[in-house]
Amino acid sequence: MKYFIVTYGCQMNVHESEKIAAILEKLGYQPCEKREEADIIVFNTCAIREGAEERVFGNVGNLKKLKKAKKDLIIVLCGCMTQKEETAQKMMRTFPFVDIVIGTFNLPKLADYIAAVKQGRQLQIWQEGDIDESLPYKRTSGDNAWVNIMQGCNNFCTYCIVPYVRGREKSREEQNILNEIKQILSEKKYKKITLLGQNVNSYGKDLKQPVSFAKLLKDICALEGDFKLSFMTSHPKDLTDEVIDVIANEEKIEKYIHLPAQSGNNRILALMNRKYTREKYLSIIEKIRAKIPNCRITSDFIVGFPSESEEEFNDTLSLVKQVQFDSIFAFMYSPREGTVASKMENQVPQNVKNERVNKLLQEEKRIQKETGKR
Ligand code: SAH
Ligand code: SF4
Ligand code: F3S
């Protein structure tokens, strides 16, 4: 029996696919190179932008032929896109040949669902659950081991679907994280540990006995072993001086921070509910540069947020010029149903978004040439 997993979206999803792989291997499935060879195909989906969802729709549609040729083929859709009830239902309607559609909280029971399908049932389930500490991972990222430190997000940036599909922030107990990393290090295969969370800087605030992200970093660095530690993603509103100091002082921590700015304009930042200003963002960059020379800094930007004017977009351009990031990701704003921004007036036309994203990327290229940064 063979399995094939297709993963969309962020590192969290990549890591979650490692969990899916472990569940399938426990059931006796082995990985295979091509979906044509598989007895079970899993699509671990992403809902962050419309483009991501369209790709999933297209690729799931293409599985129909395979299912016709192989009646016993099991097709599973999971992840952020299918956590949305309406989307899950639409997928079931559009693709009646799909066997299992589950949300982001249902993975712990995947083995039971597969057993039910083998007895002839079709399943569609999504419900809130808790962090499952017992599921193993089949690590697939070479000498890097991903370690989830928290799930969900409380920030509700007005453009973003993540809080709706991943629920509220839930931190793992520090001891569980430390134990997992000790176990990873004892295998002697991994040189890099990457901590994952939508907003790692707010780690531990929700625990019964709160633990700060800075303490977690220090405690991990104190573990024996030769490894490099990194993490993503940091939210500028929560990146404390203490965390910057820990990055500066701990040899094991990579000198790299991904710090999404999203916009360089204060009116747009406020509309996005980012809870910082351009000035605050720049002051954090200054602090990082002062305390951690040679720190690589990267960022994400959204262009064409509802009502963004040309001048306001120019503020984003000027921020990129000013900071000289090592690299940036530039996204065209994509309205996500259910979010606050999708209901805002003055949505920016697609051609303007295209122009702005191109301008931003060109500016970025120009700066990289000029500064010799990659
Ligand atoms: N938790 C992380 C990243 C979340 S998603 C953070 O807060 O930084 C990764 C990136 O996708 C975001 O930084 C943002 O730039 C982009 N993004 C999120 N929602 C989007 C949307 N509706 N349209 C376009 N880009 C979006
Ligand atoms: Fe989305 Fe904002 Fe949370 Fe990041 S911090 S996941 S952009 S709501
Ligand atoms: Fe996408 Fe979900 Fe990650 S929406 S970006 S896979 S948290």
Residues 96-141 have pLDDT tens digits of 999 999 998 888 889 999 999 998 877 777 666 666 777 888 998 8
Give 207 Cα–ligand 3 centroid separation in angstroms.
24
For the stretch 1-56, pLDDT in tens is 999 999 999 999 999 999 999 999 999 999 999 999 999 999 999 999 999 999 99
Q: How far is the CA of 17 from the centre of ligand 1 (A)?
A: 20
Tell me: pLDDT of 338 over 80.
yes
243 contacts 125 by C-beta, under 8 angstroms = no
**Distance from the alpha carbon of residue 302 to the mean position of ligand 1, in angstroms:** 8
Neighbour count for residue 104 (Cβ, 10 Å): 25
265 Cα–ligand 2 center, Å = 18
The verdict on the CB of residue 1 being under 6 Å from ligand 2 is no
Q: Closest ligand 2 atom, CA of 235?
A: 5
Percent of the chain with pLDDT over 70: 98
Question: Could you tell which of 12, 19, 56 is best to mutate to test the pocket of ligand 3, judged by most ligand atoms within 8 Å of the CB?
Answer: 12
Is a pLDDT exceeding 80 seen at residue 372? no
What is residue 134's predicted lDDT score, i.e. its pLDDT?
74
Confirm or reject: Cβ of 196 under 6 Å from ligand 1. no
Answer whether 275 contacts ligand 2 (Cβ < 6 A).
no
Atom of ligand 3 nearest to the CA of 12: 3
Ligand 3 touching residue 196 (CB < 6 A): no
Cα–Cα distance for residue pair 259/286, rounded to 1 Å:
13
Closest CA to 357 of 323, 320, 307: 320
Answer yes or no: is the C-beta of 257 below 6 A from any ligand 2 atom: no
Average pLDDT over residues 187-216: 96
pLDDT band at 346 (very low <50, low <70, confident <90, very high): very high
DSSP-assigned beta bridge partners for residue 86: none
Residues facing 144 on adjacent strands: 192
In this structure, which ligand is nearest to the CA of 169? Answer: 2
- From 46, 80, 157, 339, the mutation candidate for ligand 2 (largest count of ligand atoms within 8 A of CB) is 157
Structure tokens at 227: 């490894």
For residue 334, the ligand 1 atom closest to its alpha carbon is 23
How far is ligand 2, taken at its centre, from the CA of residue 74, in Å?
33
Choose which residue among 302, 339, 347, 354 to substitute to test ligand 1 binding: the one with the highest number of ligand atoms within 8 A of its C-beta: 302
C-beta of 81 in contact with ligand 3 (< 6 A): no
- Asked which of 122-131, 199-208, 272-281 is least confident by mean pLDDT, the reply is 122-131
- Ligand 2 pocket mutation pick from 199, 299, 342 by most atoms within 8 angstroms of CB: 199
Query: Which domains does the chain show, CATH number per domain?
Result: 2-125 (3.40.50.12160), 141-244 (3.30.750.210), 255-374 (3.30.750.200)
List pLDDT tens digits, range 74-93.
999 999 999 998 999 999 99
- pLDDT of 374 > 60? The answer is no
Considering only residues 373 and 194, tell me which one the structure prediction assigns the higher pLDDT.
194
Amino acid 123: pLDDT:
79
**Ligand 1 pocket, mutate which of 234, 300, 329 (most atoms under 8 A from CB):** 300
Q: Tell me the two tokens of residue 337.
A: 């149903």
Average pLDDT over residues 161-176: 95
